[in-house]
């Protein structure tokens, strides 16, 4: 399959996911959102318990820092296991381009007109009295958001995984994908995000934008230019 066909295939998948949310004949996403949220919310108790405290820990800022440290560790191990003679410089350039890409895509997603609050807030407005972990535990955590769409943490991790799949080995790329799934779910479990925020919003954005960014020549040319200017080398794409 040619590169352009791969790009278009990923774009079509992203658009189909987006269309499945936009259409109202078969309310797939509202059903998934409701089932997943209430499935986890009904496991909470009104007083702190080991399970509630665990969910609180998984959604506090320190766990967010640990999440990004885990992604950094995957990247660092990839660098150490690479045989490229300029692997440190190569991955410094790749990481720089990845961070700039994250910033630009994040800014663009915040400009899109559609926003909604997290399920803990929306269901509370409807008088359904959901339990909120941040109102139960005795430490700072996050289980509510006034603007949860799209899932920003999920999108950032998806961008990371896409760069690892593009420039790293298959094993580290797949490990990154698994980390995206595992590390994006705590926010969904406590109701800080709807399931659709991450697996419709973030995923469709990733499938539409990232293939053009990573599978066409411009990003490789930018990487090669930076390697030549900074280190007199090449990014050595594959």
Which CA distances in Å does 119 have to 36, 66, 125, 204? 11, 25, 10, 20
Rounded Cα–Cα distance for residues 162 and 14 (Å):
14
Per-residue pLDDT reduced to its tens digit, 82-118: 877 778 888 888 898 899 889 988 888 888 888 899 9
The predicted pLDDT at position 160 comes to 94
The predicted pLDDT at position 234 comes to 53
Q: Are 147 and 193 in contact (CB under 8 A)?
A: no
| pLDDT tens-place values along the chain, 238 residues long | 788 899 999 999 999 999 999 888 889 999 999 999 999 999 999 999 999 999 999 999 999 999 989 999 999 999 998 877 778 888 888 898 899 889 988 888 888 888 899 999 999 999 999 999 999 999 999 999 988 888 888 899 999 999 999 888 888 889 999 999 999 999 999 999 999 999 999 999 999 999 998 887 666 666 666 666 555 555 554 4
Rounded Cα–Cα distance for residues 62 and 184 (Å):
15
Which CA distances in Å does 129 have to 2, 126, 167? 52, 8, 47
Sign of the dihedral defined by the CA atoms of residues 3, 4, 8, 14, in that order: positive
The predicted pLDDT at position 97 comes to 87
Measure the CA angle with vertex 163, ends 84 and 104; round to 5°: 130
Per-residue pLDDT reduced to its tens digit, 15-32: 999 999 988 888 999 999
Q: Are 136 and 52 in contact (CB under 8 A)?
A: yes
Could you tell me the pTM of the whole model?
A: 0.87
């Amino acid at each position: 399959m040619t590169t352009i066909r791969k790009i278009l295939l990923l774009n079509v998948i992203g658009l189909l996911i987006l269309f499945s949310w936009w259409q109202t004949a078969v309310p797939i996403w509202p059903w998934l959102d409701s089932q997943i949220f209430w499935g986890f919310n009904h496991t909470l108790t009104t007083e702190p318990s080991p399970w509630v405290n665990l969910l609180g820990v998984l959604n506090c800022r320190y766990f967010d820092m640990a999440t990004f440290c885990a992604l950094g560790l995957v990247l660092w191990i990839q660098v150490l296991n690479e045989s490229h003679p300029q692997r440190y410089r190569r991955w410094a350039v790749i990481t720089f381009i990845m961070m700039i890409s994250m910033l630009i895509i994040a800014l663009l997603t915040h400009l899109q007109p559609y926003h909604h609050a997290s399920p803990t807030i929306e269901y509370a407005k409807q008088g359904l009295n959901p339990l909120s972990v941040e109102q139960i535990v005795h430490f700072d955590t996050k289980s509510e958001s006034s603007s949860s769409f799209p899932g920003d943490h999920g999108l950032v991790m998806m961008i990371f995984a896409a760069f690892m799949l593009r420039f790293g080995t298959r094993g580290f790329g797949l490990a990154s994908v698994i980390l995206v799934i595992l590390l994006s779910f705590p926010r969904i479990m406590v109701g800080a995000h709807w399931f659709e925020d991450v697996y419709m919003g973030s995923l469709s954005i990733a499938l539409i934008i990232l293939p053009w960014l990573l599978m066409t020549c411009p990003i490789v040319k930018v990487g090669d230019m930076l390697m030549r200017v900074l280190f007199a080398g090449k990014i050595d794409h594959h």
